[in-house]
Amino acid sequence: MRNTKKQWKKLKKLILNRSNRMEVQKIATREGYGKALVELGKINPKVVVVDADLGDSTKAEHFGKEFPERFFTMGIAEQDMIGAAAGLSVSGKIPYASTFAVFSERAYEFTRNIISRNKLNVKIAGSHAGITTGEDGKSAQAIVDIAVYRALPNMVVLQPCDYIEAEKMVFALADYNGPSYMRLHRTALPLIHDNNYKFEIGKGEILREGKDAVIFASGTMVHESLNAAEILKNEKIIVYIVNIPTIKPIDANLIIELAKKTNCVITAEDHNVIGGLGSAVAEVLGENYPCIMKRIGVYDKYAESGKPDELYKKYGLDSQSIAEEVMKVVSKKK
């Protein structure tokens, strides 16, 4: 049937709208952080933001443009950023301190001795985490930040898997009185959640039911694991996919429950396998329910410079590599 001009314009508009919706559905978690700070700032005058000269990249600058009197940029000086955030905290403010994840480690001593030791209400956000920082190379790829912050007493450690979860975390942290670290990514990711999603600190989330094994994943690796589940389904292997947005305190009850159901546990993270999500899960299982387990992550080495998808493939973090590892582990169980 031949389209009239009117019909063609209508069809073109429909296609364009669909395309735009698809584009909107893929967005970085750092964008959720920036947007949520602005919304939070509108309803809570105690919220302030401290940044280490990276507001454009961390998206904290959105807050600065909306509330310039509550936004403090400290230059390239993460120690000053943490010190200022601590001072604002004891003055009754709720400071969010943001920089690149790898640069936040420069202020470790300040974070330990001022923030962690005194249980100050400071929310640290580390953007551009993991090897998805890609072309920036190993000097900018944070692969030990979870280990660093997880080992600090009193510290909550979070990592959202999509834009909406990042937003929810920002708001949840405003209600939580204590120090925290939120790990964010530059990579644009598809949305998993909608606005009705309820995030709760310390709780995991079953995204896909299974029986043969369970994959506990966090951040970008939730998406790779969901894709891996589709590959595994074709091999008649049905796996649980569990989003772990809170790495500390971790949802031990859920981990133990699903380990008992499957006797086969896999962890997936864009982080060194030492000290991160895999270590946290192994600690829970080692003391409560030892079972077959495989940690997937960066195997104690620095990555090179390259496109994120190429790096994921090279270092075994892509969905195909995850599926292959799961098949090996499940075969051992059998």
Q: What is the pLDDT along the chain (334 residues), one digit of tens a residue?
A: 334 444 434 433 433 443 343 344 789 999 999 999 999 999 999 999 999 988 889 999 999 999 999 999 998 999 999 999 999 999 999 999 999 999 999 999 999 999 999 999 999 999 999 999 888 888 889 999 999 999 999 999 999 999 999 999 999 999 999 999 999 999 999 999 999 999 999 999 999 999 999 999 999 999 999 999 999 999 999 999 999 999 999 999 999 999 999 999 999 999 999 999 999 999 999 999 999 999 999 999 999 999 999 999 999 999 999 999 999 999 987 6
Count of CA atoms in the C-beta half-sphere (13 A) of 137: 1
Q: Which residues of 270-283 are buried (b: 16+ CB within 10 A; e: fewer)?
A: bbbbebbbbbbbbe
Closest C-alpha among 280, 325, 274, 282 to residue 300: 274
Q: Please state, in angstroms and rounded to a whole number, the distance separating the CA atoms of residues 308 and 138.
A: 12
Q: Considering the entire predicted model, what is its pTM? A: 0.90
Q: Is 78 a catalytic residue?
A: yes
Q: Please state, in angstroms and rounded to a whole number, the distance separating the CA atoms of residues 106 and 127.
A: 14
Could you tell me the domains of the chain? 26-190 (3.40.50.970), 205-333 (3.40.50.920)
Q: Which of 61, 78, 205, 224 is catalytic?
A: 78
Closest C-alpha among 260, 254, 270 to residue 200: 254
CA-to-CA separations, 75 to 79, 91, 220, 230, in angstroms, rounded: 10, 22, 29, 46
